[in-house]
Amino acid sequence: MADTYHREGRGSGMMQHYRQQQQSDSPWANQAVKAVTAATAGGSLLVLAGLTLAGTVIALTVATPLLVIFSPVLVPAMITVFLLATGFLTSGGFGIAAATVLSWMYKYVTGEHPTGADSLDQAAHKLGSKGREIRDRVEHAAGGGGHATGGGHYTS
């Protein structure tokens, strides 16, 4: 709506008056307002921090005797709960990983070309070519026969 007033020429005097009023305010007044705002916000946060500290100290004072009395039960219980939670989370993570791998393998076998299939094909090609190269070297070193054992004859 302000754009409409400004485009049509109406209200431009009001905008100029507002800008002049902003420019006429002294920098000291702006700094004073900023300082008061900062002091108020900082003071409020400092009071909240103090109240939080006081509440923590009171809660710790009340809870310490209870923790000492019940520690023979609480410590093993917390260790057990931690181990159970860790086991369940690990099991779930391995299950998700297995499902992901199986899904990827299914997509690869059915020809859907999942992410990383090019790398796998390239690695398989490199392994195959290295295997053939090694086989050829062994055959050449063995005298050029069909097999590295001397033509496939067994001696007994």
Q: What is the pLDDT of residues 67-87, one digit of tens each?
A: 889 888 888 999 999 999 999
pLDDT of residue 15: 59
User: What are the tens digits of pLDDT across the range 38-62?
Assistant: 889 899 999 999 999 999 999 999 9
Reported confidence tier of residue 154, pLDDT bands at 50, 70, 90: very low
Which residues are CB-neighbours of 15 under 8 A, at least 6 positions away? 6
pTM for this entry: 0.43
pLDDT the model gives residue 74: 87
DSSP 8-state code for residue 155: -
148: pLDDT strictly greater than 70: no
- Tokens (6 digits) for 24: 């006429």
Give the chain's length.
156
Compute the average pLDDT of residues 85-107: 95
In the chain, where does DSSP find H-type helix? Answer: 2-7, 12-24, 27-109, 117-141
pLDDT grade for 156, boundaries at 50, 70 and 90: very low
Is residue 147 over pLDDT 70? no
